[in-house]
Amino acid sequence: MDKFAKVILVSYPIDFTINEAKSLVESVPENKIVKVYTQKYLNHAKYGMGLGKAEEIQKFVKESKDIQKIIVDEHLSSRQIFNLEQLLEIQVIDRERLILDIFYSRATTVEAKLQIQLAEIRYNMPRVRDKAKMMSKSNERAGKGGMGEYIVDVQFRDLKRQMSFIKEKLKDVHLKRQVYHEQRLKKGMPIISLVGYTSSGKTTLFNLLTKENKETSSDLFTTLSTTMRSLQVLNSADAKMDEKILIVDTVGFISRLPHYMIDAFKSTLEESLVADLILLLIDCSENIENIGIKYYSCWQTLNELKVDKSKVYVVLSKADNITSNEMSEIANYLNISAVNKIFISSKTGYGIHKLRNMILSRKYMEKQKSGSVN
Ligand SMILES: Nc1nc2c(ncn2[C@@H]2O[C@H](COP(=O)(O)OP(=O)(O)O)[C@@H](O)[C@H]2O)c(=O)[nH]1
Ligand SMILES: [Mg+2]
């Protein structure tokens, strides 16, 4: 019945890291964080977190009764997950599992789903070894050449077989992809996608831009996912009913993304890049070096995915956190021309009107007005 999952988050005691972890957890729409714990180190052998913290959480879980899972913002071994699950009696999810879940929730193309399955296998591989070690420890006689090792061999071979099977399928899908993209574009409705790092403010802006338009009875919109909605076109008196823009809240760029997940990330993102307009969100309340690093890393990926630069518009978000001097400093540092960027705040509404007007003044709107949709 309840469509929300109450979760506990364990992260590091650094504001920036906590905020990022929270946004990451909430990228899976049904997750609701009820409590955040922090630990300076998450590499203790038994539970990842220290024993004291684990027991504190155990007490909280017992008292609240309806907590469904705990998410730890770090890589955990099978053993650590197993130990924590034994102690807390709820599901334990580590950072990599969470990222895979986010990818699954955003992936729409066959290719993206296959890439995620591939990443999932890579996620499982070291854990198969872990499990075997746990088995041989629990059965001393197993030792070398024992049952544990035999099972590892079998499971490894199985994972490898699955891997080559998926790789074969991927070759096939790659060829068909172009056709799919073209079909998508023929729907004719302008599409805007929001891209940017986790915690850059994508979902907040998405909700702000679409809030008046949630209740729409058209079949298309009721079947849309929580990450795709129509944008209200209420700019002028002549706005017609059929003037709709689709807006997509895409999978976010993720810092500390494990290498083996890069392909899964790219193909999950890729489909949303066929949009007519890409709003690249950059959180300008971070320090300027980080802003620079993230800005260039986003561009690098967009270039690798062969995105047409003229479709990208830079949205510097959370401007309520900085002064106007800092705004010019950032704009200079990133060397973006005035026509291709805007400072906004979803919190105060600063720049939102201008952003809306920019969206409505784009060429794709003309195409729609002239009725060339078919
Ligand atoms: N101060 C401020 N905070 C914001 C603004 N927009 C979003 N946030 C906060 O930034 C955090 C991450 O936002 P979210 O929309 O979840 O980011 P996403 O991961 O890119 O979807 C949340 O705590 C938001 O409340 C803004 O304009 N100003
Ligand atoms: Mg989000």
How far apart, in Å, are the Cα atoms of 100 and each of 6, 111, 123, 268?
A: 19, 15, 9, 11
**Could you give the CA distance from residue 181 to residue 171 in angstroms, rounded to a whole number?**
17
* Residues near 221 by beta carbon (within 8 Å), at least 6 away in sequence: 229, 230
What digits encode the pLDDT tens for the residues 281-301?
A: 999 999 999 999 999 999 999
pLDDT at 360: 85
Q: Is the pLDDT of residue 247 over 60?
A: yes
pLDDT digits (tens, 9 = 90+) for 146-164: 677 787 888 889 999 999 9
Ligand 2 being an ion, which residues bring their Cβ within 5 A of it?
Answer: 27, 202-203
Packing angle of the helix pair 147-186, 110-138 (nearest 10 deg): 170
- State how far the Cα of 365 lies from the Cα of 362, in Å rounded to an integer: 6
What number of CA atoms fall less than 13 Å from residue 358's CA on the CB side?
23
Average pLDDT over residues 357-364: 85
Ligand number with the minimum distance to the CA of 352 = 1
For position 370, what pLDDT does the model report? 56
Whether 369 has a pLDDT exceeding 60, the answer reads: no
pLDDT of residue 243: 65
**Please, which residues have CB within 8 angstroms of residue 243's CB and are 6 or more apart in sequence?**
233, 365, 368, 369
The answer to whether residue 215 scores a pLDDT higher than 50 is no
Residue nearest atom 3 of ligand 1, based on CA coordinates: 318
Q: What is the C-alpha separation between 70 and 6, in angstroms, rounded? A: 9
Q: What is the pLDDT of residue 223?
A: 46
DSSP one-letter code for 257: -
What is the predicted pLDDT for the residue at 3? 76
> Residue 124's pLDDT band (boundaries 50, 70, 90)?
very high
Most informative mutation of 23, 194, 285, 350 for ligand 1 (most atoms within 8 A of CB): 23
Q: For residue 344, what are the contacts with CB-CB under 8 A and spacing of at least 6?
A: 205, 315, 316, 317, 319, 350, 351, 352, 354, 355
Nearest CA to ligand 1 atom 28: 318
Residues 9 and 36: beta-carbon distance below 8 Å: yes
The mean pLDDT of the chain is: 86
What number of other Cβ atoms are within 10 A of residue 285's Cβ?
17
Question: How many other C-beta atoms can be found within 10 angstroms of the C-beta atom of residue 84?
Answer: 25
Tokens of 167: 């790789």
Residue 219 has pLDDT above 80, yes or no: no
pLDDT tens-place string over residues 173-209: 876 665 555 455 546 678 899 999 999 999 999 999 9
Sheet holding 228-231, edge to edge: 228-231, 245-249, 191-196, 277-283, 312-317, 341-343
Residue nearest to atom 13 of ligand 1 (CA): 201
